[in-house]
C-alpha cells in the first residue's frame, strides 16, 4: 500500500520541516538586509552598487526558497523549462538595473558646466539663475 499524501502524518513528516526552513531563510535574509543597511556596508565598500548587489542577492535567495517550496518547483519534473524561464527573467532584470545605474555614470545635461550650458541645482534639478546686478 502506498503512502496517503493527504494524511496529516505525511504532512508532518515531509512538508512541515520545509516550511520551517523557508521561514528561517526569510527571517535570516531580512536580518541580513537590515544589518547591511544599519551598518552602512555599501558606504564602507565604497559604492552604492554594493547595496544593490547585496539586496538583490538576498532577495533572490528568499524568492527562490519561496518559489521552490510553495510553488512546488522543488518537486517539478520539468525543471528545464522552468529554470530557463526563471534564469532569463533574472538576466533581463539585471540588464534593466544595469541600464538604470549606468545612466547615472554618463554626462547628462546639468551634471557639469560646459561652454554655454547653465548650471543645475543638484538638489532640485532646476537651472540655477545667476543674480543680475
**Burial of 56 (C-beta count, 10 Å sphere; 0-12/13-18/19+):** middle
Confidence (pLDDT) at 117:
53
Q: Give the pLDDT mean for 40-54.
A: 84
Contact between residue 110 and residue 120 where contact means Cβ atoms under 8 Å apart: yes
**Tens digits of per-residue pLDDT, 108-126?**
665 555 554 556 666 666 6
Q: Give the pLDDT mean for 12-29.
A: 90
- Residue 55: pLDDT over 70: yes
CA neighbor of 52 nearest in space, from 111, 106, 100: 100
Cell numbers placing 29: 535574509
Length of the chain: 133
Confidence (pLDDT) at 20:
93
Q: What is the mean pLDDT of the chain?
A: 78
Q: What is the pTM of this model?
A: 0.56
Amino acid at each position: 500500500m502506498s503512502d496517503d499524501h493527504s494524511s496529516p502524518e505525511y504532512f508532518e513528516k515531509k512538508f512541515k520541516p520545509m516550511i520551517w526552513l523557508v521561514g528561517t531563510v526569510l527571517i535570516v535574509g531580512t536580518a541580513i538586509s537590515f544589518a547591511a543597511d544599519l551598518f552602512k556596508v555599501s558606504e564602507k565598500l565604497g559604492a552604492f552598487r554594493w547595496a544593490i548587489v547585496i539586496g538583490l542577492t538576498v532577495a533572490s535567495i528568499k524568492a527562490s526558497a519561496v518559489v521552490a517550496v510553495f510553488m512546488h518547483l522543488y518537486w517539478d519534473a520539468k525543471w528545464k523549462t522552468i529554470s530557463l524561464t526563471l534564469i532569463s527573467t533574472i538576466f533581463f532584470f539585471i540588464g534593466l538595473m544595469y541600464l538604470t545605474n549606468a545612466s547615472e555614470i554618463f554626462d547628462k545635461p546639468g551634471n557639469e558646466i560646459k561652454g554655454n550650458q547653465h548650471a543645475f541645482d543638484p538638489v532640485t534639478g532646476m537651472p540655477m539663475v545667476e543674480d543680475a546686478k
